[in-house]
Amino acid sequence: MRLAYTDEGPGPVVVLLHGFPLGREMWCEQVDGIGSIYRVIAPDLRGHGDSPAPEGDYTIDEMADDVIELLDALHLSEPVVLGGLSMGGYVALSLMARYADRIRALMLMDTRAAADTPEAVEKREELARAVLAAGHPGPAVEAMTPRLFAKLTLEQRPEKVAPLRELMRRNTARGIVGALRAMATRPDRRADLAAIRVPTLVLVGEEDVVTPPVEAQELADAIAGARLEVIPDAGHLAPYENPSVANGVILRFLDSLRP
């Protein structure tokens, strides 16, 4: 599947995979903040943004295969730095497990390796039904908004919240449902973490309620040499909510990879 994507900047390639139910514009602060030094490639994953939203349920592995197709289309056969936030992290872990030779470093942001609990699967299916019944992403926008942002962002920074609500609203019901079912059926990747051999940064917003810091710590502990960075004044969208701190952390990590 041909994904829509942003491709900005010179230098070593950094691929960034967005969370649910967003799109590539959630990386605007990273395109601004690191795109003058690194080549930032940010696709819309299938079912999101300007990429196709085929009928039917998706899998995280299919979403990952789309990313490989994009890298191939861009003739990027050398391994890249791969970053993923939340659902994008699930896709990144699928890529790491199945295409390790395409990845030279990993950034796991506000994400986890475990599969959904049965309760989480049930909640996703309820949300999928509500979105299907509505015929638009409204129910997902309302369900996700309070979970994505830190309390302070929600209450005092409407200029940060509004553009992402708009981004969510632009998605289709079909794409949202496909992605919800992809997340609900994703495998538990915790057993794969010990096999990760590339430099890894784990980053989480201090007030992330979806994938809280305690889970990020478990993720970092399970990957050899991984470091955890907790970003203050941020919830589940740490690189978007607090870009000055998050970009500093990301740039230090990227610079440490240079020969």
Nearer to ligand MLT (CB atom), residue 92 or residue 223: 92
- CB-nearer residue toward ligand MLT: 39 or 111: 111
Residue 87 interacts with ligand MLT (CB under 6 A): yes or no = yes
The Cβ of residue 91 has, within 10 Å, a number of other Cβ atoms equal to 29
Q: Give the whole-angstrom CA distance, residue 95 versus residue 76.
A: 15
- Cβ contacts of 144 within 8 Å, gap of 6 or more: 20, 21, 168
Which of 103, 183 has the CB closer to ligand MLT? 183
Going edge to edge, which strands form the sheet with 200-205?
5-8, 39-43, 13-17, 80-85, 103-109, 200-205, 227-231
What is the contact mask toward ligand MLT in residues 10 to 39, using x (rule: CB under 6 A)?
Answer: ---------xx-------------------
Quick check: 69 and 62 in contact, CB under 8 A? Answer: no
* Residues within window 41-70 making contact with ligand MLT, judged by CB under 6 A: none
How far apart CA 74 and CA 71 sit, in angstroms, is 5
CB of 87 to ligand MLT, least distance (A): 3
Instruction: Give the nearer residue to ligand MLT in terms of CB position, either 199 or 204.
Output: 204
Residue type, 215: E
CB 236 within 8 A of CB 147: yes
Say which residues have a Cβ less than 8 Å from residue 164's Cβ, sequence separation at least 6: 22, 26, 148, 237, 240
Distance of closest approach, residue 20 Cβ to ligand MLT, in angstroms: 4
- In the complex, the smallest distance separating the C-beta of residue 91 from ligand MLT, rounded to whole angstroms, is 10
Query: Rounded to the nearest whole angstrom, what is the least distance from the CB of residue 183 to ligand MLT in the complex?
Result: 5
184 contacts ligand MLT (rule: CB under 6 A): no
Q: Which helix (H) or strand (E) holds 28?
A: helix 28-34
Side-chain half-sphere CA neighbours of 11 within 13 A: 17
State in angstroms the smallest separation of the CB of 78 from ligand MLT.
Answer: 28
Residues 198-237 that bind ligand MLT (CB under 6 A): 210, 236
Binding mask 128-157 for ligand MLT (x = CB under 6 A): ------------------------------
Q: How crowded is residue 84: how many other Cβ atoms within 10 Å of its Cβ? A: 28
86 binds ligand MLT (CB under 6 A): yes
* Beta carbon of residue 19, minimum distance to ligand MLT (angstroms, whole number): 3
Q: CB of 239: closest distance to ligand MLT in angstroms?
A: 12
Task: Give the total of residues touching ligand MLT (CB under 6 A).
Answer: 7
Binding site for ligand MLT (CB under 6 A): 19-20, 86-87, 183, 210, 236
